[in-house]
Amino acid sequence: MSSGLGSDSEPQPDIAVVPGHFLDYLYAHPSTAILIIEVADSSLLHDQERKARLYAREGIPEYWLLNLVDWCLEVYREPKDGFYTSHTVLRAGDSVSPPLSRPEASIPIASLLPHK
């Protein structure tokens, strides 16, 4: 995700699920993603605000923020006019499915959180 978010930003997400095959990116970085995942503790506010706006502005359909401060997964979906219109907070007993990339998958939130 190097230049896909504009000339004023290069956010370097922790994980980006991109369309296509890895061979599609032999000579250039992906310019979009279908899911971006950030892991945050000290960068939490930055990831909740600035990065969420950047990803929504670029139309990234789904943004997950693994919030290590509050021990949860924040799921942002449905970007519109530079903001996500859907924001859900999931805890250790919940699960999540990435509806666009793998709707049949069910990922337990507890499996995403580091052991205390």
DSSP output for 25-66: GSSS--S--SEEEEEESTTHHHIIIIIHHHHHHTT-SEEEEE
Tell whether domain 15-111 is in CATH 3.30.1330.90.
no
Q: What does the pLDDT read at residue 9?
A: 54
What is the spatial distance between Cα 65 and Cα 80, in angstroms, rounded to a whole number?
Answer: 18
Of residues 21 and 4, more confidently modeled = 21
Q: How many CB atoms lie within 10 A of CB 114?
A: 8
The share of the chain scoring above pLDDT 70, in percent, equals 88
What is the spatial distance between Cα 23 and Cα 21, in angstroms, rounded to a whole number?
Answer: 5
Count how many Cα atoms sit within 13 Å of the Cα of residue 68 in the half-sphere of its side chain: 12
* 12 pLDDT tier (thresholds 50, 70, 90): confident
Whether pLDDT at 59 is above 70: yes
Q: What is the largest CA-CA distance in the chain?
A: 42
Edge-first strand listing for the sheet containing 83-90: 15-17, 35-40, 62-67, 72-80, 83-90
